[in-house]
Each structure stands twice: as C-alpha cells, then as structure tokens.
Amino acid sequence: MQSFMSLLEVAAAQLPAGVEKVVTQMMQNMLDCHGEHYDPANDGLVVLIDDETTDDDGMRLFGHTWAEAPLEGVKYCRDSGTFLAVILLNNQLAHHVIVPDMPWLRPEFRDHLVENLVGKERP
C-alpha cells in the first residue's frame, strides 16, 4: 500500500502511466477540496493498493479488513483499470482509495468493490 499527501509524492513514486494519472487526479481533488489547509491527519490520504497490501494495512488505516471496508461511491475507471473508492470515517476524514483490478486482488475484496459500484462503468 502506498499513501500520498502531495503531488510531489505522486510524481516521485514513478507509477505506471495510467495509475499515475488517476492517483494525480485524486490527489488534486483532495487539494482542491481542502486548499492550503489540507491536513492528511484530519482530511485523509490518497491510498494506492498494491500487491503487498495486507489486511493489517486496512486495520491500521481505518479499523477494518479490506473486504469489510466502509466504502462510499465506488467507481470503475476503464481507462486505468482501477476501482476508485472513498472510505469515509467521519464528516471530514475520508481516504481516497485506488485499487488496480489485477489478478493479485483478493476475490473477497474485489467482490466488495463490485457490490458497492455506482455508475455505468463495470469491470
């Protein structure tokens, strides 16, 4: 799991082009929403799930396993092959989560993402 708190961190991560574009957009949205007062501890992070992400990461981040994550507004981005989700922890704290639809994605987490999809795009 990689977490981002600035556009500089996104650029330094050297992500694959399609994934970098989505992570950049999510980070920019976070910055646009909170402006110069953005505080990751109070406002949330942009999180990229990767093949090394474990349920322990989810427990530390929001107190649940990934398959039990309190997801809000999951969308599927066909251009990048990623699920885009928000985990809303209170009225202000929301983590924006990007999940590549890859073979290493645990089936129960993928099923949870699909169950919470909104919109027309489907994997």
Express each pLDDT in 18-39 by its tens digit. Answer: 999 999 999 999 999 888 899 9
pLDDT at 16: 92
Give domain status of residue 63, yes or no: yes
Q: Does 100 reside within a domain?
A: yes
Tell me the C-alpha distance between 102 and 44, whole Å.
25
- 47 touches 1 (CB < 8 A): yes
Residue 97 lies in a domain: yes
> Per the confidence metrics, is the pTM higher than 0.85?
yes
> For residue 58, what are its two tokens?
């989810």
Of 19-23, 85-89, 90-94, 96-100, which gets the smallest average pLDDT? 90-94
Q: Residue 123 falls within a domain, yes or no? A: no
Q: For residue 121, what pLDDT is reported? A: 73
Domain of 10, in residue numbers: 2-115
| 120 is a domain residue | no
Answer yes or no: is 108 within a domain.
yes
Answer yes or no: are the C-beta atoms of 26 and 43 closer than 8 Å: no
In a domain, 121, yes or no: no
The count of structural domains within the chain is: 1
